[in-house]
Structure 1
Amino acid sequence: MRKPIVLASGSVHRRMLLDNAGIAFAVDPSTLDERALEAPLAQSGAAPEDVALILAEAKAAEVSARHPGALVIGADQTLSLGDERFHKPADMEAARRALLALSGRTHVLSSAVALVEDGETVWRHVDQARITLRDLSPATIGRYLAEIGDTALTSVGSYQVEGRGIQLMERIEGDFFTIIGLPVLPLLAELRRRGEIDA
């Protein structure tokens, strides 16, 4: 008998990816304080991809306690530019500063996914993508933020590659799903391997 699948994320983008793939799942977002969990990891010099994996597992484990017997999907994404880490902007001014910092440079998105069952991590995976933004003038950034509004506050880079944010890009190296924040193909392969979805 197949196990219930629970997504430990409130992200509309991750939900859409699983919906589009035809996966039957419930949604129960994690309530962990990600920044509090991440701070000591960053101070210890943990690599961005390791931080993403640890956070994905922690979120899934927290939700797993509420869903015994279910397979809980946890996901997390980090954005790094050299030694600098970026988070979802708190306000439009923070979004503007982030885009100015990323302008004309190449940053790395690390997207992690983990499956947790009854508090135990049974599978984990991380992918990376590299994105180079065009040289963006302050006027271009201001126009972009005025057009998309608070949507800029919903993603770590203040852009959505699936929307107007594509206009900011010069080059993309990596998987589209990794950029959105959920490495779907490896996840589907693991669910098939476990017999939880049709092969």
Structure 2
Amino acid sequence: MRLVLASASPARLGVLRAAGADPLVEVSDVDEDALLAAHPDAEPARKVTLLAAAKAAAVAGRIAAEHPDALVVGCDSMLHVDGELVGKPGDPDTARRRWLSMAGRTGELLTGHAVLLLAGGAVAKEAEGHAVTGVRFADPTPQELTAYLGTGEPLNVAGAFTLDGFGGWFVDGIDGDPSNVIGISLPLLRRLLGGIGVSVVDLWHPRSGVPVPSGKES
């Protein structure tokens, strides 16, 4: 079974690789703004889950011919703070405004997850869900914030921060699953996979250094 990650996020890829998997990366072409605009009244958790499902479906349709028996995982993360759901800021000015509004406060990092199991090129099973992790932000000095924005890191990540990069200096703590803040919740993904009959140990790659059963008895 080929594991396919429907995401361009190097952080998500890093989490999966560190956990023993070796996914193929296929980036979806989903118009996120259009999808969100079509569901303006959806709850925040539903919005990120809809995005994750759309990404997984788009990639599954693209790779089905070459990988007819595959497991496609789609994710989407956004930060919910002060009643607003925000994604990637995209530019330094937006990132600065977001940090000035959330510094010293608490937000919720939501990540939608969708898994599609392909058999013979068609979707045989699917599951979806979301994870929520509370994030307690520090209050960086003006000099620190300017330097952080200068790294370029916060411009293309949900909520304008990371936990596993430069942004980690400005996160006082989290309440919940840390892998979810990085972009993919391993505990949730394990439960979703179990629901469609897939064990995470079957995704562990021999190169991970973990012994993988060969099916032969000594």
Query: What TM-score comes out, normalization by structure 2 length?
Result: 0.80
Aligned to 2:27: 29
Partners of 1:173 and 1:91 lie apart in 2 by 28
SS in structure 2 at match of 1:98: helix
Aligned to 2:146: 142
- AA matched with 2:71: L
Report if the CA contact (8 A) 1:109-1:130 is conserved. Answer: yes
Please state how far the C-alpha of 1:195 moved relative to its aligned partner: 4.0
What whole-Å deviation, never above 9, does each CA across 1:40-99 have from its counterpart, x for those lacking one? 32x22x111111111101110111112323221010112111321212112111111111
> Structure 1 residue aligned with 2:158, among 152, 156, 159?
156
> What is the count of residue pairs matched by the alignment?
193
Aligned to 2:45: 49
Change (3 A) 1:121 1:56: farther
Alignment of 1:68-107 (within 5 A): 68=64, 69=68, 70-107=70-107
> Structure 2 residue aligned with 1:168, among 167, 170, 175?
170
Partners of 1:93 and 1:82 lie apart in 2 by 19
Report if the CA contact (8 A) 2:77-2:183 is conserved. Answer: yes
Please state how far the C-alpha of 1:164 moved relative to its aligned partner: 2.1
Runs of 5+ unmatched residues, structure 2: 203-218
Aligned CA-pair RMSD: 2.0
Aligned to 2:128: 124
Aligned to 2:185: 183
Please state how far the C-alpha of 1:131 moved relative to its aligned partner: 1.0
Query: What TM-score comes out, normalization by structure 1 length?
Result: 0.87
Which structure has the larger Rg over C-alpha atoms?
A: 2
Partners of 1:176 and 1:51 lie apart in 2 by 21
Aligned to 2:12: 14
Runs of 5+ unmatched residues, structure 1: none
Q: Give the fraction of aligned pairs with identical amino acids, expressed as a percent.
A: 31
